[in-house]
Amino acid sequence: NAGVTQTPKFQVLKTGQSMTLQCAQDMNHEYMSWYRQDPGMGLRLIHYSVGAGITDQGEVPNGYNVSRSTTEDFPLRLLSAAPSQTSVYFCASSLVRGSEQYFGPGTRLTVT
Amino acid sequence: DAKTTQPNSMESNEEEPVHLPCNHSTISGTDYIHWYRQLPSQGPEYVIHGLTSNVNNRMASLAIAEDRKSSTLILHRATLRDAAVYYCILLSVGFNKFYFGSGTKLNVKP
């Protein structure tokens, strides 16, 4: 199993650009989530999904959209990038809600 | 949402036990206590979780106070590879959200 994969590893955007961060898991997990981590801080939940077709907002959802058309994939879309969205983004999955989460390696995003 | 309080940093000597405390005075009866750790430049990694009873696994032990208002993650023999930020998180059954605090940065000295 590859576990949780994220692409790209690094990305630089200009203010106002949009892009999609990809996340995929091959463990048939129901629950998937996106976090951001700013320098020296803990993780903050952006959006999560409890299954295909079901998504909900986390702690800091503004400026981000998600969709979950398949069990495997959970892309995160930045609508109009802002410097405040410069961060490291982590995707995670778990078998069911509340169980052990597996994290991807992260995407380091810089918005100039 | 229930909150946790952890020391910002702790230091340990290699091959000695480490006790990482976490206070969660507002915990409810259905909240699970989860611990994750994050090594430098990596995503968080699951360590252990429990509800009421003490728990052991190959990585660590979790000691939960009788009133559940605090818990302690125990690393029995710290190694240099255990240097990481350790997060204590509460998760309610039926809720779908994980809230990470700032965690405890553990430094292990050789």
pLDDT at B44: 94
Give A80 to chain B, closest Cα distance, Å.
25
- Indicate the SS3 state at residue B17: coil
Pick from B32, B43, B98: CB nearest A45: B98
At residue B100, does pLDDT exceed 90?
A: no
CB contact under 8 A, A42 and B103: yes
Q: A16-49, pLDDT tens digit by residue?
A: 999 999 999 999 999 999 999 998 888 899 999 9
pLDDT at A5: 96
Q: A44-78, pLDDT tens digit by residue?
A: 999 999 999 999 999 899 999 999 999 999 999 99
User: Is residue B79 within 8 Å of residue B109, measured between CB atoms?
Assistant: no
- Indicate the SS3 state at residue B81: helix
Residue A59 CB-density burial (10 A; 0-12 exposed, 13-18 middle, 19+ buried) = middle
pLDDT at B102: 82
Residue given tokens 């952890």 in the structure block: B6
At residue A92, does pLDDT exceed 70?
A: yes
**CA nearest to A31 within chain B:** B96
Q: How confident is the model at residue B2 (pLDDT cuts 50, 70, 90)?
A: low
DSSP letters, A29-92, are -SEEEEEEE-TT--EEEEEEEEETTEEEE-S--TTEEE--SSSSB--EEESS--GGG-EEEEEE
Q: How confident is the model at residue B98 (pLDDT cuts 50, 70, 90)?
A: confident
CB contact under 8 A, A103 and B44: yes
Pick from B45, B96, B103: CB nearest A56: B96
| Residues A105, B39: Cα–Cα separation, whole Å | 11
pLDDT at A70: 97
| Residue B20 C-beta-side C-alpha neighbours within 13 Å | 36
Determine what percent of chain B is predicted with pLDDT higher than 90.
75
CB contact under 8 A, A42 and B42: no
Give B99 to chain A, closest Cα distance, Å.
7
CB contact under 8 A, A103 and B43: yes
**CA nearest to B92 within chain A:** A98
**Cis peptide leading into residue A83 (ω within 30°):** no
User: Is residue B26 within 8 Å of residue B14, measured between CB atoms?
Assistant: no
Q: How confident is the model at residue B82 (pLDDT cuts 50, 70, 90)?
A: very high
* Non-local CB neighbours of B1 within 8 Å, separated by 6+ positions: B90, B97, B99
| Residues A71, A62: Cα–Cα separation, whole Å | 24
Give B77 to chain A, closest Cα distance, Å.
23
Q: How confident is the model at residue B21 (pLDDT cuts 50, 70, 90)?
A: very high
Q: Looking at residues A96-110, what average pLDDT do you find?
A: 90
The alpha-helical segments, DSSP class H, found in B5-58 are none
Give A59 to chain B, closest Cα distance, Å.
8
pLDDT at A111: 97
Q: How confident is the model at residue A80 (pLDDT cuts 50, 70, 90)?
A: very high
pLDDT at A99: 83
